[in-house]
Structure 1
C-alpha cells in the first residue's frame, strides 16, 4: 500500500507542472501593431484589450501605431517580424480582405504572410439618411432611389472605404443606381448629411448613433444580418434585401510560421479577455461586439469576407492606388 501511494504521488507531482504551465508564454513584451492613426475605434479596441491581455500572458502588451498605405505599412512590418509570438497585427478589413481586391500590387502576400490568431470584434453599420429624406424604411429608400436613377447620393470617407463598399453592395443588391460622394474622412461627410447636402451614408454605429439620438440624422436599419446589440430596435437591411450583411470586422494576426503553441496560447488568453463582462460593456459603449473563437474560426471568417466583397468590388470596378 505504501509503495502504491508513493508511486501515485510521484505521478501526480510529475503531472502537476504540465497542467499548471502553459505550453508557451512570452518572454518579453508583446507588440500589437495597429496600421491606423491613434484615436479611431481600432486603436481604442487595441488599447482596451492590451492591459488585460498582458495580465493573462504575464508580459506587458504594447500598442504601436503604424499608419499609412491603406494599412499596408503596419502590415508589412508585422509580416517581416520574427515569427515568435511577440509581434501581432491588429487587422482591419483592408489588410487581407479588401486591399488584395482593390490594389494592383501588394507589398506582401495577404494570406501566406500571416497566421490567424483570433477575431476581436464586429461593429455594425447604420443606414442613415438626412433628416428630411422621404423614406421611413429600407423598402421606401430603395423605391425613392429606383425612381431617381443616380439622383440619390451617399457619402463615404473615401474611395474604397468601408462606407463606399457598403453603399456599393446596397446598390448592387437592390438594383438601384446611386451617386457616390467621397470625402476625406467620415466627419465631413456626416456634416454634409446633417446639412442635407447628401442623402445617405452607411457607416459605423459608433460614429452615427450619437447623431441619431440627437435627431440630427435618421437611422433606417442596421447592416448586420441579425439585429445588433449596439442599435436595438433597428431592423436589419437583410429583412428587405435577403443576404445583405456587412460589419466592420477586426482581428489579430501573427507572422506566418509562428509556432502553433504560440498561436494557441495567444488565442486562449484573448478569448478570456473578450469574455470579461467589463470588457464586453466597454465594447458595447463603442458600438462594437466581441467575437473570439478559434484561429480556425477566424480563417473561415476571412475567407467568407473575401468572397462577399469580391463580387461587389469586381462588379463595380473599385480600385485604389
Structure 2
C-alpha cells in the first residue's frame, strides 16, 4: 500500500514549485527565443581602429550563427567611456553588447577621477574575443639588435631613450612603463593622439621605440623603417616566430592585449550562455582566423564567462599597480 502523505503539505510544496517555475519561465522562454531582432555591438571608439576592425570581422559569422543581423555602433569619446556608458544604460536583454577593451573596463578606473559607470558591477562577462601581444620595435638607426642591447643602451643613457604611445594611459604607454620598471630603466614617454601618429614618428627617427600592435607596424617593418626586437607576451607569436619574447631577457614580463565581449549586468544567464556558445563557435572558425590574420588583428580566442571574469580581475590588479607606481593620470 502506498502512503499518500499529508495532503496540505503536498499542496503547499506544489504551490511553491509552481511559483518558482513561473519566476523562471520568462527568463528561460526569452533565452529560447533569443534573438528575435538585430543585435548591436557597441565599439566605444571611432571607426577605423583595431577594435572596430575586429568587431566588423566577427559580425558577419556571428550574425549567421545567431540568425539575426549584427549592427556595429561606434560611440567614441572620453577614452571609451561614452560608448561603455551606453551599454551600462541599455536594457539587460542581450541585444546590446560591449566590445570591451582594457581602457574602459580595466585601467580607466585608475586614470580618471570618476567614471559614469561601475566597471565591475554594471557588466557581465560573455567571452574573450582576441588575445595577442604588443611588439617592441625601434627605429632602424638605433644601434641595437636585441632586448639585452636595448637595455644596455638605455642604462648608459638614462632618460634619453624615448618611446611613443597612442596616448597617456593607453596600453602602449603602460607596457612601456612596466618594461622600464621590470628592467630598471629610465625611459622618456612621448604620448600621441593615436597609434598612427606615434608609429609615424618612430619610423621617422624622432622617437626611439614603440610598444604597439603588430598590424599597424607591418608596412613600416616591411619598408625597413622599424626593426622588431621582441614581442611582449610570455610566448612567441606565430606571426613573428623569429622574434623572441621580452621575458627571455626580463624574466616574468608578460603583457597581453585582449578584446572581449560583455553585456549589461542583470542579463538573464540563459541569454549570456546563448551568446557565449555563439562566440565560441564563431571564434573557432578557420576562415575567421585567416581573415583576422590577413588584417593583422590579434588571434581570435574564446572563453567561458567565468574565465573572462578571472582574466579581467587579474588585469585590474596588474595595471592598477603600474599606474599607481608611475603616478599616471589621464591627460
- For 1:125, the equivalent position in structure 2 comes to 134
Report SS of the residue matched to 1:96: helix
- Indicate yes or no: 2:241 matched with 1:232: yes
**In the alignment, is the contact (CA less than 8 A) between 2:154 and 2:160 conserved in 1?**
yes
Q: Pick from 172, 184, 205: which aligns with 2:214?
A: 205
Taking structure 1 as the reference length, what is the TM-score of the superposition? 0.91
> In structure 2, what is the Cα distance between the partners aligned to 1:308 and 1:114?
20
> In structure 2, what is the Cα distance between the partners aligned to 1:218 and 1:302?
32
- Indicate yes or no: 2:325 matched with 1:315: yes
Q: Pick from 94, 113, 125: which aligns with 1:85?
A: 94
Taking structure 2 as the reference length, what is the TM-score of the superposition? 0.88
Q: Report deviation, 1:129.
A: 0.5
Equivalent runs, 1:96-135 vs 2, <5 Å: 96-135=105-144
Q: Report deviation, 1:228.
A: 0.9
Q: Pick from 248, 251, 260: which aligns with 2:260?
A: 251
> In structure 2, what is the Cα distance between the partners aligned to 1:189 and 1:51?
31
Q: Report deviation, 1:220.
A: 0.3
Equivalent runs, 1:239-318 vs 2, <5 Å: 239-285=248-294, 286-318=296-328
Q: Pick from 126, 145, 150: which aligns with 2:159?
A: 150
Q: Report deviation, 1:27.
A: 1.4
Report SS of the residue matched to 1:71: helix
> In structure 1, what is the Cα distance between the partners aligned to 2:328 and 2:40?
33
Q: Report deviation, 1:61.
A: 1.1
Q: How many residues are paired up?
A: 301
Report SS of the residue matched to 2:277: helix
Report SS of the residue matched to 1:151: coil
**In the alignment, is the contact (CA less than 8 A) between 1:136 and 1:220 conserved in 2?**
yes
Q: Report deviation, 1:274.
A: 0.4
Query: CA RMSD of the aligned region, Å?
Result: 1.4
What 5-or-longer segments of structure 1 have no aligned partner?
A: 1-20
Name the larger-Rg structure. 2
- For 2:22, the equivalent position in structure 1 comes to none
**In the alignment, is the contact (CA less than 8 A) between 2:40 and 2:73 conserved in 1?**
yes
Q: Would the alpha carbon gap of residues 65 and 287 (structure 1) be closer, same or farther in structure 2, given more than 3 Å must change?
A: closer
Report SS of the residue matched to 2:113: coil
**In the alignment, is the contact (CA less than 8 A) between 1:193 and 1:200 conserved in 2?**
yes
- For 1:140, the equivalent position in structure 2 comes to 149
For residues 130-158 of structure 1, give each alpha carbon's deviation from its aligned partner in whole angstroms, at most 9, with x where no partner exists: 11111110011011101111011111111
Farther off after superposition, 157-166 or 259-268: 157-166
**In the alignment, is the contact (CA less than 8 A) between 1:205 and 1:231 conserved in 2?**
no
> In structure 2, what is the Cα distance between the partners aligned to 1:103 and 1:304?
20
Q: Report deviation, 1:185.
A: 1.8
**In the alignment, is the contact (CA less than 8 A) between 1:31 and 1:86 conserved in 2?**
yes
